[in-house]
Structures are given as C-alpha cells and as structure tokens.
Structure 1
C-alpha cells in the first residue's frame, strides 16, 4: 500500500521545518514544539467537560471528564494520552477524547500523568493506577457505572493502558476492554518495523530512542513488564482488546505482536492495521480523513464491550 496522500502532504509540510537534534534536545524544548493541538479539528461537541484534581502518588493529579449527551449511569473510559512519556497532555488529546465520549456514549476520563525526565518510570504507571483506583471508588459520584470500565490510550498512552490492564488483573479489578492505538509495547528491543519505517514517517527510530532514554532515566529496567507490556509472562485473563496499528509506523510490529500474544493466551483481540497511515494519525482530525473512520471503529468497539455481559 502506498502512503496516504493526506499523510504524505503533512509529512512534506513538516519536512520544510527545521529538524531537532535529539542528541542535544531538551524535553522542555520538545514540549514547546508539540504545542496544544489547537491547529487540528476540535472533535465532537460533548454535553460538557470538567477538570478535577485527585490525590496522586506524586501530588495532585489532574483529570478531565468528558460527558456525552446520554442518560446515566454512564460506562467509563479511562484515557491515557501519547507523547513519548515526555510530552503532551489533556489539551493535545482533547479531540480524541471528545470523539470517543460522543461516539461510544461513554464518560471519558483523561489523565494528566507525570512526565519524564522530571518524573521517570514508573511515575506514569503509578499515576495511571491511582486514576483507575479513584475511578472505581468514585464512579457513582461522577455519574458513571463502576461495573463498566475500559482503558484506552495512544502511543505511550497505549503502553500505559496495556500496563494498566495487566495491573488491573493482578488487583482483581474487572475491565470491559482495552483500546490500544498504535501502542508502545516493548521498550527493550526494536522490531523490524523500526528499520522499515524508522525514518521519514513523522515518528522516527531516533525519536523513540530519545523518549525511552528519558522515560527510563531513573534506572528503570526496559524489560520490566510495567515498561514493556509485551514482556509479561502471562497474558491470560486480560480484558479483551482492540488494537490499531499504522502501516508506516516504527511501532507497528510491536503493537501487532501484542495482539498476537493476547490471542495466543485466549484473550479476544481485534487487530486493525491502517493501510497507508503514519504514527499519530488519529489525532490529526481535519488533516487526515482516516482519523474519523478509525475513531468510529474504536468507539464501536467500546460500545460493544459496554453492551456485553460483565466479565
């Protein structure tokens, strides 16, 4: 499959910009480059949204709640944003959260977890676990249904969602679904798609190495399943999954390997490789039309999971 023409146009426009030097780039400068996502389409109109603070392992932890126009109690989706564990936040992924809330008729709770290198691994995992624990305890207070909870995330957030599903199993916290959008699943080894798609397609192999070096800068073990969920010893009993990968993405193969690991353990795992697409395309509403179709597919998977009998 050839590269999607909309993705190609975006890459050509970005190629005209100065390229950062990841051997010297500071995290703060990278965050300034990523912006707020304000140039992209804003996503669907929710009934309302609100920000909250809860007690987190490292201090106050911000959440943003997105309510669809639907009667409660609402199924709950805990969303973890991407950004290489180093950048992005509630604003950059606002459009994805709005679309999932409206299209899946779910209360989406987005987590502003701590970022590396100021808060390296396992800080983000600890924040994700704390957010899920709070959501389970306070579901009724916010109009949600504690018996219908899913986790979701893209890229680094997909990593955290997968890790959270594994942590939930250990803790005996039932989940309805895990929605993983081009997730990072292996920080310990680079797959073949790093070589095939590691340059020229927005996310590069060099960028991933930089992200990993900052995330694990506190001495974290790259093979720890909390950093590399693909390295888990047992995938049995995890929540059913929907996994989306992009054809021209260095993370493609590890996302697909994760789907295979789930299937081999008897876990239902729907895998969708998006032909012609690059990493991050789902955030690019208004620039890449395939983002709309992918969000429709993701929302449909969540609706089915919430409609099914409880696990």
Structure 2
C-alpha cells in the first residue's frame, strides 16, 4: 500500500483523473473490475456519470497545461486577420513607444475615408435644400525622419503622392459628381521643430494662397502620443486634442478637441509582425481644418475602432474606425453665402504600406 501511495503522490493530477474516470466507466458497463471492485455498492448510473466527469476533467487539465505553440497561432491567420499570441506570463509588459526615434525612419501610409448616404443640407439665399451625399477620399503619403535630437525627431519630410476627394451629391433629380485634389497633392513639405513648435514649408515651389493657409496650421507629429514605459494587457489610457487628430489622419488642424479611450487588448500576429491590438473606445472629436479652397471646415466624429501597433518598429500598422461623421462648411459662391452640412455613417482606415 505504501508503494501505491508513493506512486500516486508523484503522478500528475490529470493522469490520476483520467485513470479514475476509466475505472468508473468500466464499472458502470461491466459491473466489476476483477475481484476487487464491484458495482454492488456503487450504482452503475452514478459510476458512469462520475467516470465521465473525471475523464473529461483529466483530459481537459492535460491539454490546458500545454501552451499553444507560437507557430500554431500564426497558422490560424486567414485573410490578414490577426491571430492571438499569448504572453509567456500574465504579468508580461510591452513597450508601445520607442525610447528614441532613429534618423532615416520611413513611414509610408495610405488613408481612406468613406462616408456613404450622408444627409445633406444646403442653405442658399434663405432657401434650404435637402439631399444625399457620398464622400470618398484617399491619401498616399510618406513621412521621413531627416534629423533627431536626444531621440526625438526635429526635422521631417512629408511627401504627398496622392490626396484626392470624390464627392457625389444628389439634390432631387440633379446628381453632381466632383473630384478635388488636396493643396499638397504631388508636393513635399519640410517640417522642422524650432522654439517649441513645428514649422512647415513647401519644397520646390512658392506656396499659393490655399497652401499658405495650410502651412500656417498647427502640426502634431504623433511620435510621442503613446504612453512612456511598459504596459500590460488590460491597461488603458487617453488620447486627446492634437494626438487624437493625428491618430485619425489629420496632421494639420486649426483646432482639435475631444478624447478617446485606448485599451491594450492583446498581443497578436498581424501581417507577419508581432503587434499590440488596441481598442479605440468612446471616441468623440470635433475639429476645424481647411478644405481644398482654403475655407474653414468643421468636422465631428463619434464611434469606435481598433489599432494594430508594431511592437518592434513602434508605428501603427493599421488604424480602423467606424461611426458617424458630421461636416460643416461655408463659402461664398457668385456673391452668395452657401452653408453646407453633411452627416452620415463613416469608415476610416489608415494602413502602413
């Protein structure tokens, strides 16, 4: 008996449960196990139920104790969707913000905004018109760090390959489709940090009136947006003001107010790169910027989204947002003031290319 107890004491719990489960199942079916255990004192139904429970618990504990290999998690990725990569310990922490930004860093991005079926209101000469509007915009650009000081960027180059907005407006039986290009479409900017703020200048050409207005707008680089130090899964923080505007793809703005809660959800494999999956929650933002003609435009956002941030390069691999957007602007056309407002469902997607 002492030998049996010693053997059991060194046997893993899952193995004991599996063996016990098999014994009780055998009793429930056959009635007895040799001449030692009999189903006379243990009802077969109870033995069968108990055996099943013990067997399931034993097998479950056995597999629960085996961590899923990283390669198995990566193999589950389909159509670009991330797969979960479990941290080695529950207390493992990660850095989301680089200690220093290296000179020569390139960040090529593609940003798309789509507002479909928005409710349009037009006020002209005391008359109100209602209609529908669809807006599609795409911007392809590259940000390059030309110089840094103490690990923070001081000189940037922004090259805008494409900045286009297509608008489809339906008023009654009239349908108008227009395509406009941003003021820096096909141009490059030099952005320098001097005396506590960023200064922008157009490269290779003299700026026109609309470009001069845009160059005068404040700029947020976004490199210092994420919290310093180490973060654990489940940690939360706030984005606000200019940091939130930069995250949503608005590097330049007259004003930006609002906030969003960011929550570190998991570590995942995204496009063959280990990334932090971050929830973008309770986003409420209002801001003022300029349209392609240099007119002030008010934007309001509300909704939620998600961010995939590289844990090795400390850049956002993808920002995805869906919610509601409201756009308001005024302009003088043929001597008359025109007030325009559009509100509708919107999706925003910014990807590192």
Per the normalisation by structure 2, the TM-score is: 0.25
Between 1 and 2, higher relative CO (CA 8 Å, sep ≥ 6) is seen in 1
Structure with higher helix content: 1
Structure with higher strand content: 2
Per the normalisation by structure 1, the TM-score is: 0.28
Larger Rg: 2
